[in-house]
Amino acid sequence: MKFLPDQVVARLQTGMQTPDLSGTRYRALRPLGHGGMGTVWLAQDSILQRPVALKILTAENSSADLAARLMQEAVVLARLEHPGIVPVHDAGTLPDGRTFYCMKLVEGKTLDRYALKLPLRERLRLFQRIAEPLAFAHSRGIIHRDLKPANVMVGSFGEVLIMDWGLAKVMAGTGESSATGQVPGQIMDTIGESALAQQEGHVLGAIEESPEAKQEGHDMDAIEEPSLAKQDPRNVVDTAKLSSPAKQVSGHEFTRAVQGPLISGALAPENATAHGTILGTPGYMAPEQERGDVNLIDQRTDVFALGSILQYLLQEPPGSRQSEAYSRPLRAICAKAMSAEMSARYASVQELAADVGRYLDGMTVSAYRENIFERTVRLVSRNRVAVVLVLAYLFMRLLFILFSRH
């Protein structure tokens, strides 16, 4: 019996994964990244003559459940028209039966690869920009639930995009969802998690970047950067936690949560993910998310994750000396955003971003009560030139007095 060479096997596997785009306006060029659910392909839109990104279900995952889940991700993204959220151009089913959606090709780097080289103040300004699209999504009743540095893209011109809305939750009672006849107060989970992905310890909705994509600097949707992910201790999956009975993901519940009506935009109450389901990334998940308290999840859950991102951005390279990143107000902002008690957190991401803005402007932050010494130091450092001018004047006057006595 003769075995096929590895190269041939690899080529066959690639051939199987290559989507059938015949009869569509798209031409697949190469994969950019792949994850538990689907693969993101670089494609050419033959009508508009532009490169686009296609997120397509992988062949082995093309079940009706996952198809509905992918479609719902597209529906959620289509609702969120904001410069900080990647726009969806098209969605549908390919000739080979696989569900896909087409989105803008984003070129840039994920936050974990982009930010840590920047000076602290630029990192904080970047953080403020991350909060903007998130605040917009919250105003539309959508909670991201999987915020982490790998899901934030910084484009070539410094534009910030929040990626991977695959775990997003639509809150009932918002303008659009209430129009579909939902019961007020009902929470709709858009996405669940496959048991397989959990077993493998994969970050949900995350996509591993292909080597070619890394070389060319294309980052598609949520791309994992293995080397940097290792640097961030929060990316380590706590298997003990995940394997505890109270926190195990139920594949059946997931299946129930993503039935067909989502595609038409109607979010039926029976699609709600069951209580006890865990969705998100360990280290960036709020306690209520870790517990699987789906009913408690609201925008403060994203505030927690945003606080984790802030903490990540405050990291200094190994070996660096004590810096402004260790200042008490910044630490207090992180602590407040990441408070275990939801009520102790910032009520919204705007409040969190505003506190960071106040810090950058040299103002007092709401999260930290400074003493008189700290307040004086802050005021002096904020008005350094004015203080120097007044001191120079007083010094001159002192000299005049001394000379007049002689």
Contact residues: other proteins, CB under 8 A: 385-386, 389-390, 392-393, 396-397, 400-401, 404-405
Q: Which is nearer to other proteins, 331 or 378 (CB)?
A: 378
Q: Which is nearer to other proteins, 340 or 389 (CB)?
A: 389
The smaller minimum CB distance to other proteins, of residues 1 and 401, is found at 401
> Where are the alpha helices (H) located in 293-383, listed in sequence order?
299-313, 328-337, 349-360, 372-382
Longest alpha-carbon distance in the chain: 112
Let me know: does 338 contact 308? Beta carbons within 8 Å. yes
Query: What is the C-alpha separation between 112 and 309, in angstroms, rounded?
Result: 10
Q: Is 163 exposed, middle or buried (0-12, 13-18, 19+ CB in 10 A)?
A: buried
Burial of 98 (0-12, 13-18, 19+ CB in 10 A): buried
Measured from the CB atom, the residue of 48 and 391 that comes closer to other proteins is 391
CB of 391 to other proteins, least distance (A): 11
- Least separation, in Å, of the C-beta of 389 and other proteins? 5
Query: How far is the C-alpha of 137 from the C-alpha of 159, rounded, in Å?
Result: 17
Nearer to other proteins, 104 or 358 (CB): 358
Q: How far is the CB of 129 from other proteins (least distance, A)?
A: 24
In this complex, which beta carbon is closest to other proteins, that of residue 377 or of residue 396?
396
Q: Cβ of residue 27: shortest distance to other proteins, in angstroms?
A: 52
Q: How far is the CB of 398 from other proteins (least distance, A)?
A: 9
What is residue 363's DSSP assignment?
P
Minimal distance in Å, beta carbon 371 to other proteins? Answer: 25
In sequence order, what are the residues at sequence separation of 6 or more whose Cβ sits closer than 8 angstroms to the Cβ of residue 97? 62
